[in-house]
């Protein structure tokens, strides 16, 4: 990496919340230089929970009690960084307050500007305005742990649960004069964890801790790319009153019981099918996919399921590769079945790729005279490329595409004379989209400088073969906001270069209404006039129940 950036931190001293401490440490690990602590002179008066002496606080008594006793967020735990920060210059600043805004004095502004900072992290003070916003080259970076387009104010991560909103948001912005409507530098949309307010906020905090280092690295390596200005006019939320807290606690209890019921007693049962319509027609004809449109494979047993179909056409027959999962073994191999359009039937699936570890998502593509398979094999820590052995009718490993990576659902296409690899990583498999690229199929794959290029549980994780429609490139992705693999999002790729990526949501496909498999729909793979799909239902499974029960006992 080129020379690191210099930054300051607005804070209350040496003690930070855990996620804030992690953000600072990641910046230092990336060789950026912390040169100034901007300390709030009102530290002694700082309160995270209002004093009970204020008569207004009796209307939020349940919230304050819950914040103390129930909602102990692990990412908000105190971390003393005195030893790590002992050599850092400090400036203790007093501010003048006007209504809800805080302004720095001229002397403090002069001192801060003389530090020649590239950016400032705001981990202290309140709503700052005025010349301090321009005291560093790239401004003040602040966080809002909600989707600012819906929820301004606070408490963070609370109102999506209360309002039954399936998506919770977070953003890092460069502050402007407008509240929660600055220049968006990083933004994520995550699945709302309805059963636990504590966990829902912890996940938002933890994910955002990596953003300052990501942004600083991007500036240092590729130059600064301004984000979009938020135009939010969302209402400003406040601490919930007692009546709303009673409703909220009842919702939490109900959601938690439902969560454990589904986790223990409702196992997923996916199946693979074929539709006699092109993927372009499915996506753009405005005609719903009905249960009669799909010809399903015969389910093998209650202990197995088929998912993640991909394929190729050979001698007018559709060869379908798929994940063949066993609940008893808690792993899958890749099987192959053949669909004959003349008889409208599937052959019995046979093993095509099997290893000691779990394999899934056998992405298929054709290059030259060869047919390749790129299965998900994150447990091996690399992406292995397999080539079709025509004489034996199986796939054999050809070479390692990328090593030391726990890639999920790797999807590879050749576009504009480059190879583009889309994937998510195991830790945030449903939300964080990464891109790698190379000049040749077997070349060196480079990470995109904006990685993760997208953080959206509604449309990030790959869901099948990208396709061309009216000279535009479209990418299927999973929408996991309501549940894993609930439906497929069709995204139009607007920009795809070595420095930029942008896509926009066009439409959704699924789930299949009035079908036996109505609980999810998470793969579409176009093959000419055919489209391969999968969908799921849920059913009790003894092996799943036993494994989940043992897992919960080990956790406790």
Q: Are residues 433 and 544 in the same domain?
A: yes
The DSSP bridge partners found for residue 456 are: 189
Q: Which residue has the higher pLDDT, 523 or 64?
A: 523
In a domain, 271, yes or no: yes
pLDDT band, very low/low/confident/very high, at 3 (cuts 50, 70, 90): confident
Record the pTM.
0.92
Q: Which of 260-264, 267-271, 356-360, 486-490 has the lowest mean pLDDT?
A: 260-264
How confident is the model at residue 288, as a pLDDT? Answer: 80
- Which of 259, 293, 319 is the last residue in one of the domains? 259
**Chain centre to alpha carbon of residue 158:** 19
The highest-confidence range among 151-155, 521-525, 549-553, by mean pLDDT, is 521-525
In a domain, 51, yes or no: no
Per residue in 214-247, pLDDT tens? 999 999 887 766 678 888 888 889 999 999 999 9
pLDDT band, very low/low/confident/very high, at 49 (cuts 50, 70, 90): very low
Q: Which helix (H) or strand (E) holds 223?
A: none
Do the beta carbons of residue 141 and residue 189 sit within 8 Å? no
Share of the chain above pLDDT 90, in %: 79
Residue 185 in tokens:
């530098």
How confident is the model at residue 271, as a pLDDT? Answer: 97
pLDDT band, very low/low/confident/very high, at 486 (cuts 50, 70, 90): very high
In a domain, 71, yes or no: yes
Q: Are residues 334 and 248 in the same domain?
A: no
Per residue in 514-532, pLDDT tens? 899 999 999 999 999 999 9
How confident is the model at residue 524, as a pLDDT? Answer: 97
Q: Cβ–Cβ contacts within 10 Å for residue 434, how many?
A: 22
Measuring CA to CA, which residue among 134, 167, 162, 172 is closest to residue 20?
172
In a domain, 1, yes or no: no
In a domain, 272, yes or no: yes
Give the structural domain span for 530.
267-555
Per residue in 117-147, pLDDT tens? 999 999 999 999 999 999 999 999 999 999 9
- Which of 200, 235, 259 is the last residue in one of the domains? 259
- Strand (E) positions, 377-440? 382-389, 394-403, 407-415, 418-425, 432-438
Q: Are residues 145 and 280 in the same domain?
A: no
Q: Are residues 243 and 316 in the same domain?
A: no
The CATH number assigned to the domain holding 289 equals 2.115.10.20
Average pLDDT of the residues in 424-451:
95
Per residue in 97-115, pLDDT tens? 988 899 999 999 999 999 9
Q: Are residues 188 and 281 in the same domain?
A: no
- 276 CB contacts (<8 Å, ≥6 apart)? 293, 295, 341, 529, 530
Q: Are residues 308 and 249 in the same domain?
A: no
Q: Are residues 241 and 360 in the same domain?
A: no
Q: Are residues 251 and 276 in the same domain?
A: no
Indicate if the pLDDT at residue 54 is higher than 70.
no
In a domain, 498, yes or no: yes
Indicate if the pLDDT at residue 45 is higher than 50.
no
Measuring CA to CA, which residue among 418, 422, 500 is closest to residue 461?
422
The CATH number assigned to the domain holding 95 equals 3.40.50.170
In a domain, 408, yes or no: yes
Q: Are residues 314 and 424 in the same domain?
A: yes
Q: Are residues 244 and 384 in the same domain?
A: no
Q: Are residues 239 and 320 in the same domain?
A: no
- Which of 208, 242, 259 is the last residue in one of the domains? 259
The tally of domains found in the chain comes to 2
Q: Are residues 34 and 176 in the same domain?
A: yes
How confident is the model at residue 216, as a pLDDT? Answer: 95
Residue 485 in tokens:
């693999």
């Amino acid at each position: 990496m080129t020379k690191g950036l210099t930054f300051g931190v607005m804070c209350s001293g040496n003690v930070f919340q855990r996620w804030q401490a992690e953000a600072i440490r990641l910046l230092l690990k990336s060789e950026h230089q912390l040169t100034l602590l901007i300390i709030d002179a009102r530290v002694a008066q700082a309160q995270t929970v209002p004093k009970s002496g204020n008569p207004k606080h009796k209307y939020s008594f349940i919230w304050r009690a819950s914040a103390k006793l129930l909602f102990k967020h692990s990412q908000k735990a105190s971390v003393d960084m005195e030893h790590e920060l002992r050599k850092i210059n400090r400036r203790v600043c007093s501010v003048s307050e006007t209504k809800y805004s805080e302004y720095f004095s001229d002397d403090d502004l002069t001192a801060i500007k003389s530090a020649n900072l590239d950016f400032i992290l705001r981990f202290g003070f309140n709503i700052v305005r005025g010349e301090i916003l321009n005291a560093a080259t790239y401004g003040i970076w602040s966080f809002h742990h909600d989707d600012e387009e819906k929820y301004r104010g606070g408490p963070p991560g609370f109102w999506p649960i209360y309002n039954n909103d399936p998506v919770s948001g977070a953003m890092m912005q460069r502050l402007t004069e407008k509240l929660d409507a600055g220049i968006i530098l990083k933004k994520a949309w995550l699945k709302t964890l309805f059963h636990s307010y504590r966990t829902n906020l912890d996940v938002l905090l933890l994910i955002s801790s990596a953003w300052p280092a990501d942004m600083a690295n991007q500036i240092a390596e590729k130059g600064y790319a301004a984000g979009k200005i938020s135009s939010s006019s969302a209402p400003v939320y406040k601490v919930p009153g007692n009546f709303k807290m009673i409703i909220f606690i009842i919702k939490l209890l109900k959601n938690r019981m439902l969560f454990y019921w589904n986790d223990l007693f409702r196992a997923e049962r996916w199946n693979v099918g074929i539709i006699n319509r092109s993927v372009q027609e499915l996506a753009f004809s405005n005609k719903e996919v009905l249960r009669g449109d799909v010809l399903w494979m015969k389910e093998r047993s209650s202990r197995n399921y088929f998912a993640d179909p991909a394929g190729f056409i050979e001698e007018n027959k559709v060869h379908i590769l798929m994940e063949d999962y066993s609940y008893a073994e808690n792993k899958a191999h890749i099987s192959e079945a053949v669909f004959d359009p003349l008889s409208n039937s599937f052959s019995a699936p046979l093993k095509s790729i099997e290893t000691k570890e779990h394999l899934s998502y056998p992405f298929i593509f054709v290059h030259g005279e060869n047919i390749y398979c790129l299965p998900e094999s994150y447990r091996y820590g690399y992406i292995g490329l397999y080539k079709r052995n025509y004489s034996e009718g199986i796939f054999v490993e050809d070479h390692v595409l990328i090593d030391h990576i726990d890639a999920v659902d790797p999807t590879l296409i050749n576009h504009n004379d480059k190879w583009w690899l889309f994937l998510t990583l195991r830790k945030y498999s449903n939300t964080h989209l990464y891109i790698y690229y190379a000049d040749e199929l077997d070349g060196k794959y480079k990470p995109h400088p904006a990685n993760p290029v997208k953080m959206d549980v509604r449309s990030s994780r790959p869901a099948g073969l990208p396709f061309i429609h009216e000279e535009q490139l479209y990418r299927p992705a999973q929408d996991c906001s309501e549940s894993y693999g609930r439906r497929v999002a069709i995204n139009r790729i607007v920009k795809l270069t070595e420095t930029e990526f942008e896509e926009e949501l066009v439409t959704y496909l699924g789930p299949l209404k009035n079908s036996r498999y109505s609980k999810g729909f998470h793969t579409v793979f176009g093959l000419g006039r055919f489209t391969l799909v999968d969908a799921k239902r849920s059913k009790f499974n003894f092996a799943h129940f036993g494994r989940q029960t043992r897992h919960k006992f080990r956790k406790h």
